[in-house]
Chain A
Amino acid sequence: MKLKMKTLVAAAALALTAGAAQAQISGNVVKIGVMNDQSGTYADIAGPGSTLAAKMAVEDFKAKEKGLNVEVVFADHQNKPDVGSQIASKWYDSDGVDVIVDVPTSSVALAINQITKDKGKAFLVSGAATSDLTGKSCSPNTIHWTYDTWMLANGTGTAIVKTGGTTWFFLTADYAFGHALERDTEAAVLKAGGKVLGKVRHPFPSSDFSSFLLQAQASKAKVIGLANAGADTTNAIKQASEFGIVKGGQNLAGMLVFLSDVHGLGLDKAQGLIFTESWYWDLNDQTRAWTKRFVAQNGGKYPTMVHAGVYSAVLHYLKAVAALKSDDGTKVIAKMKEMPTDDILFGKGTVRADGRKIHPAYLVEVKKPSESKGPYDYYTVRATIPANEAFRPMESGDCPLVKKS
């Protein structure tokens, strides 16, 4: 009996190593799981558009011709960390998903960041914002692609303080993302010589902001920083104009505003808003051509920077998988950091050791209705923040991966 057991174990071990040597691509298919909010507050920012962007990347990579079998699946995390964690575990453990992409809502992204690390898979973040993903929560299995709270805070916060917006009051979404954005913006404001007079944290999501706006008004701060996103931001902006906040001499600073938000608000309400984005569809001929393809398949809705980031991240991921001939999460992420990035949307770039993807950022201003010439012609790019200044320097991020090396 004992002998039998031993041989069994040996045989199993043999089979296991043989399997590993033979099939480097698990299950013979590279399975990409796009997870985001498919139907709620953040569905237009990421949602089905991200799934489309991932599929476009697979198409443009010409995976079939390179002998790679790639499949894209998607799921709705409803902005809830517990739902997201469940899906991630199921995807990794039983559905053979190799990489999870997108995941807006920082609280969900942080949960999946940990699960991915524990299971040695790969995680490409486009939708989530918290800079902790490349700071104290950084992981050898995660790359943070499109933007982060530090980038937004640094771009927008600094620019506004320099143009005279020296005193701030924050309206903050009460969860991981809002807190990170508020913290990073506060730091940028203080560094640029500004002052923070107060802050109020609202439940996520909220629809009525009048109470909070009243408190902001009473603070007499020159700038009201909206450390929230999606419908929260648009509702706050809409109601601020109703309560005569801008007329009263206070200015709003949307810390995270997406193209879809501006579309939802209308240029009439959104004009003059200044914020930072890392991608805009109307940057150059290549981005315009890609956008044309995207729009045709997305019901006429234009892509946000999150969609562009998903495309770019998936493309780079597939390049690394093809180079390694393996879809082992930890190895692929290491390879992605090694290889320089290059694609039609973000141009040439790099991925840092802490998992931060580096590219330029753009300070944009929303056009007046009279200046807009066509559909989604919404932004004027006021300044380009060069790649080496757009993101938090690696040393000040407290990422354990960096300290060790």
Chain B
Amino acid sequence: MFDISIPALSGQLLIGLINGSFYALLSLGLAVIFGLLNIINFTHGAQYMMGAFCAYFLLNKLGLGYWWALAIVPLAVGASGVVIERLMLSRLYKLDHLYGLLLTFGLALIIEGAFRFQFGSAGLPYAMPESLTGGFALGFMYLPGYRAWVIVASLVICLGTWFLIERTKLGAYLRAATENPTLVQAFGVNVPRMITLTYGFGVGLAALAGVFAAPIYQVSPQMGSSLIIVVFAVVVIGGMGSILGSVITGFGLGVIEGLTKYFYPEASNTVIFVIMAIVLMIRPQGLFGQR
């Protein structure tokens, strides 16, 4: 069982990267929201699920395919995030983190429950876009075209987001607004609106990951809750609020998980939490966290 073959191992590494790209996309959204709003967004999994469902509806009710979904879904679900932020979250900023966590956790349960009531738990099928159905024979494995696309797309999005927040003027405003909102407002920047849009952006990232996931996994109400716990572990390991940290950790843990699935599959669900425990002991602020 433990005889290692190099082709098989490279296959598992590649698959780990693919899963890692989902972790990275989701933890990126969480990190943006936490870093700039100080809200631990437990609704993230539900919003990821809403993204997948939204893509399903676009295809089956309106006849709009995958590429349309990629553009429309993040905007639509992001808009729902904006509503949540305006109506509810904005009232909690002055309170402890815990209240935001409780609110978003409750919302996640409500959203999931409503979807389950409406669509059942077995899930709905979402067809893969024609143009991405093929694959490449790499010698050591068969790489489905769709998975290759997911890796590339999520890398581009992750780096783009990092660039936006760390290297542009808009990003500088955002970061300044989290440090000292009053001062930034004095310069004529509409801080509450910026915060609202940031939340919408984070939610949109989750929805985008949902669209990426729809053709691979069943579109089902619990698809988010099974992933969100792992993603939180990724964020904790990377360092809460660290954007680059969450991206690197996302991909890295995907690879480690992939290797575990090869060497000792029974432990593949726990390995991330073991790493989290070790990191918390040695470096409580996370690998890339500050303070």
Partner-B contacts on A (CB < 8 A): 39-45, 47, 174, 200-203, 205-208, 210-212, 214-215, 217-218, 230-231, 234-235, 238-239, 242-244, 248, 260-261, 263-266, 268-269, 301
Q: A41-B121, A203-B269 are in contact. List 14 more A-B contacts (CB 8 A).
A: A39-B113, A41-B222, A211-B15, A211-B265, A212-B261, A231-B218, A231-B220, A234-B122, A238-B218, A243-B144, A261-B122, A264-B220, A265-B218, A301-B120
Q: Are A235 and B15 in contact (CB under 8 A)?
A: no
B253, CB-defined interface residue at 8 Å: no
Q: Are B122 and A242 in contact (CB under 8 A)?
A: no
Q: Which 5 pairs, one residue from A and one from B, show the smallest C-beta to C-beta distance? A: A264-B122, A266-B125, A211-B261, A203-B269, A43-B121
B124, CB-defined interface residue at 8 Å: yes
B:1-58 near A, CB below 8 Å:
5, 8, 11-12, 15-16, 18-19
- Chain B: minimal CB distance from A335 (Å): 36
CA–CA, A210 and B16, complex, Å: 9
The verdict on A174 contacting B266 (CB below 8 Å), with A47-B121, A264-B124 known, is yes
The chain A residue with its CB closest to the CB of B261 is A211
Q: Are B125 and A264 in contact (CB under 8 A)?
A: yes
- Selected A-B contacts with CB under 8 Å, 28 pairs: A39-B113, A40-B121, A41-B121, A42-B121, A43-B121, A44-B122, A47-B121, A200-B265, A208-B216, A210-B15, A211-B261, A212-B265, A214-B15, A214-B141, A231-B121, A231-B123, A231-B220, A231-B222, A234-B122, A234-B123, A242-B216, A243-B135, A243-B144, A244-B142, A260-B120, A263-B122, A264-B124, A264-B218
- Chain B: minimal CB distance from A273 (Å): 14
- The interface residues of chain A lying within 8 Å CB-to-CB of B218 are 231, 234-235, 238, 264-265
CA–CA, A214 and B122, complex, Å: 24
- Chain A: minimal CB distance from B267 (Å): 8
B131, CB-defined interface residue at 8 Å: no
Q: Are A242 and B113 in contact (CB under 8 A)?
A: no
CA–CA, A235 and B218, complex, Å: 6
CA–CA, A207 and B228, complex, Å: 12
- The interface residues of chain A lying within 8 Å CB-to-CB of B124 are 264
- Chain A: minimal CB distance from B19 (Å): 6
- Chain A: minimal CB distance from B153 (Å): 16
B227, CB-defined interface residue at 8 Å: yes
B217, CB-defined interface residue at 8 Å: yes
CA–CA, A244 and B265, complex, Å: 22
- Chain B: minimal CB distance from A246 (Å): 12
The chain B residue with its CB closest to the CB of A211 is B261
- The interface residues of chain A lying within 8 Å CB-to-CB of B122 are 44-45, 230-231, 234, 260-261, 263-264
The chain B residue with its CB closest to the CB of A234 is B218
Q: Are B142 and A264 in contact (CB under 8 A)?
A: no
Contacting residue for A201 out of B16, B113, B147, B265, CB 8 A: B265
The chain A residue with its CB closest to the CB of B120 is A44
As a 0/1 sequence over residues 115 to 148 of chain B, the CB contacts with chain A under 8 angstroms (1 = contact) are 0100011111101100000010000011010110
B258, CB-defined interface residue at 8 Å: yes
The verdict on A211 contacting B125 (CB below 8 Å), with A41-B222, A205-B226 known, is no
The chain A residue with its CB closest to the CB of B112 is A39
CA–CA, A230 and B127, complex, Å: 19
CA–CA, A354 and B258, complex, Å: 44
Q: Are B120 and A215 in contact (CB under 8 A)?
A: no
B268, CB-defined interface residue at 8 Å: yes
B223, CB-defined interface residue at 8 Å: yes
Q: Are B121 and A44 in contact (CB under 8 A)?
A: yes
CA–CA, A203 and B266, complex, Å: 6
B262, CB-defined interface residue at 8 Å: yes
- Chain B: minimal CB distance from A376 (Å): 12
- The interface residues of chain A lying within 8 Å CB-to-CB of B135 are 243-244
CA–CA, A231 and B142, complex, Å: 24
- The interface residues of chain A lying within 8 Å CB-to-CB of B217 are 207-208, 235, 238
Q: Are A207 and B226 in contact (CB under 8 A)?
A: yes
CA–CA, A207 and B141, complex, Å: 20
Q: Are B123 and A264 in contact (CB under 8 A)?
A: yes
- The interface residues of chain B lying within 8 Å CB-to-CB of A243 are 135, 142, 144
- The interface residues of chain B lying within 8 Å CB-to-CB of A41 are 121, 222
- The interface residues of chain B lying within 8 Å CB-to-CB of A45 are 122
CA–CA, A301 and B122, complex, Å: 11
- Chain B: minimal CB distance from A364 (Å): 18
CA–CA, A363 and B259, complex, Å: 38
Q: Are A218 and B146 in contact (CB under 8 A)?
A: no
- The interface residues of chain B lying within 8 Å CB-to-CB of A301 are 120
CA–CA, A212 and B217, complex, Å: 15
- The interface residues of chain A lying within 8 Å CB-to-CB of B226 are 205, 207
CA–CA, A40 and B123, complex, Å: 11
As a 0/1 sequence over residues 192 to 227 of chain B, the CB contacts with chain A under 8 angstroms (1 = contact) are 000000000000000000000000111010110011
CA–CA, A155 and B146, complex, Å: 36
Q: Are A268 and B128 in contact (CB under 8 A)?
A: no
Contacting residue for A218 out of B8, B144, B268, B269, CB 8 A: B8
